[in-house]
């Protein structure tokens, strides 16, 4: 079976995504970053599927109610009164929760460098780091990370930069998926769902 990511194969894999926009971007990124075997491609697609809500979320959603803010960031917003100014106010919320750390030093850097891409890129320092291995100037134009072509390039370049093609080649597929998840997530959050997404990809591209 062909490894090519087409609109039809992508729609079969992730029915809720905008396959017309994403397929050409993902195919170009696949070809450019060594995703040239079924195992590598299926692991990559399964991982980014999980990270991006089925390839539907390229920009972080920061539109929360006050009640939800107290649940997501209880130390920052211990009660409804402290959360109220940031409820349904994504720029203010991003500047509050992301400002003043990891390179975010200007007043609006929290919003400017909010989470974007298939593998959410957040904070100016990380955008700067990603610029080096993706070949995109993400510090000057962070919106590139939330556009299909940029998001696909960053995800595939990250995969190659972290040596995950070699990890995917490993004989123990379950161990490989776990190692990939640690590289992407820093933990093993959603490991069962990631395994399921890889298995679904294998029905299409293997």
Q: pLDDT of 31-50, one tens digit each?
A: 999 999 999 999 999 999 99
Q: Do residues 70 and 83 make contact, with C-beta atoms less than 8 angstroms apart?
A: yes
Q: Do residues 176 and 43 make contact, with C-beta atoms less than 8 angstroms apart?
A: yes
The answer for residues whose C-beta is within 8 angstroms of residue 119's C-beta and 6 or more apart is 47, 48, 51, 52, 154, 155, 158, 184
Place of tokens 């990891």: 102
**pLDDT score, position 2:** 87
Average pLDDT, the chain: 97
Convert the pLDDT of each residue in 91-124 to its tens digit.
999 999 999 999 999 999 999 999 999 999 999 9
**pLDDT score, position 156:** 98
**pLDDT score, position 1:** 64
CA angle 174, 185, 128 (to 5 degrees): 135
Residues of the chain with pLDDT under 50: none
Structure tokens at 98: 């992301």
The answer for residues whose C-beta is within 8 angstroms of residue 3's C-beta and 6 or more apart is 30, 35, 36, 37, 38, 41, 205
């Amino acid at each position: 079976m062909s490894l090519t990511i087409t609109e039809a194969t992508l729609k079969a894999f992730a029915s809720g995504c905008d396959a017309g926009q994403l397929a050409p971007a993902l195919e170009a990124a696949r070809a450019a970053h060594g995703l040239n075997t079924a195992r590598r491609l299926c692991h990559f697609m399964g991982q980014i599927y999980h990270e991006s809500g089925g390839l539907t979320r390229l920009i972080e959603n920061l539109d929360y109610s006050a009640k939800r803010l107290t649940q997501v960031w209880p130390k920052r917003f211990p009660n409804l009164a402290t959360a109220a100014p940031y409820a349904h106010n994504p720029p203010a919320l991003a500047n509050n929760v992301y400002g003043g750390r990891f390179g975010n030093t200007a007043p609006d850097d929290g919003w400017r460098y909010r989470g974007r891409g298939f593998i959410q890129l957040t904070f100016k320092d990380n955008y700067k780091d990603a610029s080096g291995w993706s070949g995109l100037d993400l510090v000057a134009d962070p919106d590139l990370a939330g556009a299909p072509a940029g998001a696909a390039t960053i995800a595939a370049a990250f995969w190659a930069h972290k040596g995950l093609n070699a990890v995917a080649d490993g004989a123990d597929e379950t161990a490989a998926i776990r190692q990939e998840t640690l590289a992407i997530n820093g933990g093993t959050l959603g490991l069962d769902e990631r395994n399921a997404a890889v298995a679904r990809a294998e029905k299409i591209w293997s």
